[in-house]
Structure 1
Amino acid sequence: MNSKSFIFCIAWLASFFFISTQATPASNSNDTDQFLSSIGLSTNSLKGNTYKLRGPALACAILEAFQSSLTEFPFDDALYVAESEGHWSATAWATPTCIFNPSSVNHVSIAVRVLTFTGTKFAIRSGGHSPLSQWANINNGVLISMSKFTDLRYDASSKTVTTGFGNRWGAVYDYLEQFGRLAVGGRVSSVGSALTIGGGLSHMSNRYGLSVDNVISFEVVLASGAAVTASSTSNPDLFWALKGGSNNFGIVTRMTLKTYPVGKVWGGQVIYNNTLYQDDLMRACAEYQKNGQSDKDTAMLTYLVTSNKTVFATYVHMGGKERPEAFKPFFDIPVLVDSTKLYDNFTALINDNVVDTVVPRWTWGMTNFYLDEKLYEDVSRICTEEAKKVSQINGGTYAVMPQPISKSMVDASQNNENALNLRSRPQLWFSLNVGWTQASDDATALSIVRSTIDRVEALAKSRNLHDPYVFLNDAAPYQKVIQSYGPNNLQKMKAVGNKYDPTGVFQTLVPGGFKISA
C-alpha cells in the first residue's frame, strides 16, 4: 500500500469510527432484516454488526454484500484511488466511505434504495467534468461511478445513437465514425456525458442547438428505484426538466441522441500574444457574431490566458471549408502559431487540439451579456485588471473563455423545448477559469472569480445588456443556476421534483450540484 492509499485508509477508518459511535440505530431491528430481504440478502450477508447502524457504514456493507466486485474501499489501493481522484482538477477529489460501480440499471436501482434506506449522502459521477468540490464526489458518503455504463448502439433506421452515461464524448465520436455520423456533444474528447443535462455546448451548436436539445430520450432511475424512460411521449414533464435540470430528478443511465452526417472538417489551434492582442480578439469576437456566425458550420473555443500572456483559440468549420471568411477578423490579427488544417474526421481534430492544464486545482464561474463591441472591449480591460490578483496565489492562472452564442443557436435550442429559457438574440457566455497549486488558496481563487464576475455583471447591467441566464456547465458554486431559468420554469421544475421524487432524495441526500430547492 502506498502512502496516498494509507492516508485514504486512515480517513475511511476515522469515518467508520465516527459513524459507529454517532449513528442512530434503526428504530426497529426488523427494519434492516426486511430491507435486506427485499433486495435478496439476509443479515448474515453482512460483515460484523454493521446491520445495526444506519449511514455510510451500513450502506457500504450492504453494497459490498450485494456486489462485492463493484464496491471499492480505501484499502482497495489503486482501484479506490483511481476513482476517488477520477477528476481532472484536484479540487474535486474526495474520500468516499466507499465507491460503487454499477454495471446495470438494476445495480443503480438497488444502490438508490440502499442509500435512501440508510439515509446516506451520495454523489453521482459520469466523467468528472466539474472541478467544483462535492459536485461529483463526496466525503463520508457513497460515490456512484457510472464508469461501467459505456455501451454504444447505433440505429440505422432512426439515425440515432444510444450511449451509456459513463461514456466520454471521444468514445462516442470514435464509435460513430464508422457510420459517417456525429452526435452533438462536448468540445473536448475527455468530457463526460453529464455535460448534456447541464445544457452542453458543442462545435455543432450553431446549427443544431445545445447537446441537450438533441436528446431523443433518457433512461433514468428515480428516487424510488424505479427505472423509467423520459421522452416527448413518455414522462414528458420529466424529459423537459432533465434538459437543464442536472442531478435534481434521478440518475441518468443512458440517453438516445440524434446524429448528423459528417465528413472532413477543417480547424485547429491558433496561438496569439494575449498582452498585445486581447482587445483585438474581443473586437474580432464581436465582428464574428455580427457577420461570420451566420455560417452555421463554424465554431470556436478560445482561452485568453492573461497570466501567461497567451491566447489558445480553436477554430472549426464542420463543413470542411478551409480558412472560411467567417474567421477573417481573427486571421487579421498577427499569430504566433497556426496549426489549422483539413482533417479526415472530427475525432482527429478534437484529439489534436487539447489545451493542457498546467496547475492541479481549478474553479470557474460565468456570466452572460448581449452582443456589444464596446462592452466586449471594456470587459477585456476589467479582466486585465482582475488578473493581477492571481499573483496572490501559488501557480495562479487566469483564463478567460468568451463563448459567442448566435441567435441561430438559441432558436434551435428553443425549438426543442428545454428548461433553460434562453433569449433569442446574440449573446456572450463569458466564462472565467482560475487555476492554482495549493489547497490553502482555494478561497482566494474563488474570490477572484467572484470579483471578476461581479464587476462584469455590474457593467453589463448598467448598460442594459446583462442576461440573467447562467450556463450550468460553467457556473461557480455560489451561483443560482436553476433560478436563472426564470420563476415560471423554476416552479415547473419543483412540481416535477415533487412528482418524481416526493421525499426529496435528490435534494437532501445528493448535496452536490445546483438544486431546485436552493
Structure 2
Amino acid sequence: MDGTDFESLRGQVRGQVITRGDADYDEARAVQNGMIDKRPAAVVRVSQVADVIASVNFARDNGLALAVRGGGHSGPGFGTADDALVIDFARTRGVRVDPAAKTARTEAGATWADFNHATHAFGLATTGGVVGSTGVSGLTLGGGIGYLDRKYGLSCDNLLSADVVTAEGKFVTASETENDDLFWALRGGGGNFGVVTSLEFRVHPVDMVHAGIIIFPAEHAETVAKFYREHMASAPEEFGAFLAFHQGPPVPFLPEQWHGKPVCIVVGMWTGDPAEGPARWQPFLDAAPVAGSMVGPMPYPALNSAFDGMYPKGLLAYWKAAFLTELNDGAIEAHLEYGRRVPSVQTAVHIYPIDGAVHRVGVTDTAFPNRNAKFSPVIACHWEDPADSEANIAWVRDYAAALQPFSETAGYINFMDGDDLGRVPDNYGPNYARLREVKAKYDPQNLFHVNQNIAPA
C-alpha cells in the first residue's frame, strides 16, 4: 500500500483529492469495465490545467505511477492502476464551438455525447465513435473510428491542435505549426506523450441524417455479410454503416421473439441529400428477410448515442481487435462461426468500414498507420455475472484466433485489451521507431506508461 502523504497536493490543486478511507473512494476508483478492480493511491478530480500540472509534478517527484482518465471507457481499465495517482477529468467536460471557423474545442473529460450536443446546435459534427458515452480524448488519441470516417476521416484526422502537459510539468500546444512532432504522435499514438487537457477539432456540416438499424435472423448472416461487402465497395462516402453480430436487443422495432436470439445487424447513416435516404437503405431491406428495422431521419447525436443504455458502467468486459484488408470469404466464415454464438445481449461484434477519406491520409502522415485496411472488426464482449468470465474470455480469444489468418499484423489500439501489450510494435508498424523517438523526447522516463505503452528509444 502506498504511504505517500497527499496533504501537500491538496494544497496545490483546486480540484478534489480522494484517497483511501475517503467516503467516495470506491466510487472515484471505479472505471467503465467492471473487471477492473484497482486501488489507486489517490484520484485527483482536476478542475483546470493548473491541477494537472501539479498532479504530474507530484506523481513524478514521488515516484508514483500515473494514470489518466478521460471518459473512463478504456477496455483494459487504463484510467486507473494500483498505488497510482489518477488524474480524472470527469469534471472538465466543456465544449466551445466556433461555427464561423467550423471548429470546436473540448476539455479532456468530455464524452462524444457532450461534444455532439454542443456541435449539433450549429448543425456540425466530426467523426466520433458509435457510443456517446465514450471519451473524446481517448478515442481521438488512439485514432477514432466512427460513422463519419469514410466521408471525413478518423477523429485524429480532424484534430487541429491539442494542449498538453508533459512529463516535466510543462504546458505546450501541439499543432501543425507548434511542436509538430508531438502533434504527429498524438494522432494515433495514445496517451504516451503527456496529459492532453483540451483538443481542437475541425467540424463539418452534419445535422439530420437518414439512419438505419436493420436486424436480420442469424440464418441469413452469410447472405447479409456478402451483400454488405459488395455494397460498401461502391457506396458513396456519405454512406457510413457497419456490419454487426449481436443477440437481438430489446428494442420496440424488433419483435419479442427475436430478443436474445442470434442476429446479424447493419447500422449506419446516410449524410448526403436527405431525399435520397430511403433509396440508399432499400438495398439492405431487400438483401434478406428482415426481423426488424428502424430506418428514417434522425439527429446525428441520437444515432451516436442510440446504444448507450446497453452499456452502463460496471459491466464486465474483454475486447480484441484486428484490421482486414478485405472482408474475404474466410473472414466472413470466422464471423459466422463465432458471431452466431454471441454470449450476451450486451456483447457487440462490429465490423467498421475505414476506407474513403481514411485512405487519403498517408501511412506516415500521422501515428495511425493503418491506412490500407478497409475494415476494422472489434469483438467487444460484455456481461454481468463474474461466473461467466472464463467462458466469455475464451470465446473472445478463440474468435480473434479464427480471424487472425485473414487479418493484418496490426490491430486498433482503442480495442486492445491489457494482455495485448506485446502487440504494440506491430500495431504501429512503420511508425513505431519514430514514436519511440518522440516518446524519448517528451517522456524519457516513461512516466506515462499506463496505456498501450510505447517504450522510449
Aligned partner of 1:5 in structure 2 is none
SS of 2:163's partner is strand
Structure 2 residue 195 is the aligned partner of structure 1 residue 240: no
> Which one has a bigger Cα radius of gyration?
1
1:160 alignment counterpart:
103
Output the aligned Cα RMSD. Answer: 2.6
What is the aligned counterpart of 2:134 among 191, 213, 235? Answer: 191
Match of 1:428 in 2: 375
Opposite residue 271 of structure 2, the aligned amino acid is M
Match of 2:289 in 1: 334
SS of the aligned residue for 2:188 comes to helix
**Structure 1 unaligned runs (5+)?**
1-14, 21-56, 461-465
Q: Does 1:151 align with 2:105?
A: no
User: Is contact 1:288-1:327 (8 Å) kept?
Assistant: no
After TM superposition, list the pairs within 5 Å mapping 1:97-176 onto structure 2. Answer: 97-133=41-77, 135-176=78-119
Which of residues 69, 75, 85 is equivalent to 2:30? 85
Counterpart residue number, 2:253: none
Structure 1 Cα separation of the partners of residues 122 and 167 of structure 2? 37
Distance 1:170 1:372, change over 3 A: closer
**Pairs within 5 Å for 1:360-509:** 360-383=315-338, 387=341, 399-406=348-355, 408-414=356-362, 417-424=365-372, 427-439=374-386, 442-458=389-405, 460=406, 466-479=407-420, 480-507=422-449
1:13-52 matched pairs, under 5 angstroms: 15=1, 19-20=2-3
- In the alignment, structure 2 segments of 5+ residues that lack a partner are 248-259
Matched, 1:76 2:22: yes
Question: How far, CA to CA, are the matches of 2:95 and 2:324 in structure 1?
Answer: 38
TM-score for the superposition, normalised by structure 1:
0.78
- Asked if the contact 1:208/1:412 (under 8 Å) is kept, the reply is no
- Percent sequence identity over matched residues? 22
Closer, same or farther: CA 178–99 of 1 in aligned 2, 3 Å: same
Q: Which moves more between the two structures, 145-154 or 209-218?
A: 145-154
Structure 1 distance, partners of 2:347, 2:53, is 42
For residues 278-306 of structure 1, the C-alpha deviation after alignment (integer angstroms, 9 at most, x for no partner) is 222221221122222xx111112443126
Deviation, 1:69, is 5.1
> 1:419 is matched by which residue type in structure 2?
A
Q: Distance in 1 between matches of 2:296 and 2:287?
A: 18
Q: What is the deviation of 1:109?
A: 0.7
Q: Which gives a bigger RCO, structure 1 or 2 (Cα 8 Å, sep 6+)?
A: 2
- CA apart distance, 1:398: 5.3
User: Following TM superposition, by how much is the alpha carbon of 1:363 offset from its aligned partner in structure 2, in angstroms?
Assistant: 0.8
Structure 1 or 2: more helix by fraction? 1
Contact 2:75 2:416 in 1 (8 A): no
Instruction: State the TM-score, normalized to the length of structure 2.
Output: 0.88
Tell me the SS of whatever aligns to 1:91: coil
Deviation at 1:223, TM superposition (A): 0.2
Q: Which sits farther off after the overlay, 329-338 or 166-175?
A: 329-338
1:260-279 equivalences in 2 (<5 Å) = 260-274=204-218, 276-279=219-222
Number of residues paired by the alignment? 439
* Partner Cα distance (1:381, 1:180) in 2: 39
**Distance 1:285-1:375 versus aligned 2 partners, 3 A rule:** farther
Q: Distance in 2 between matches of 1:160 and 1:269?
A: 30
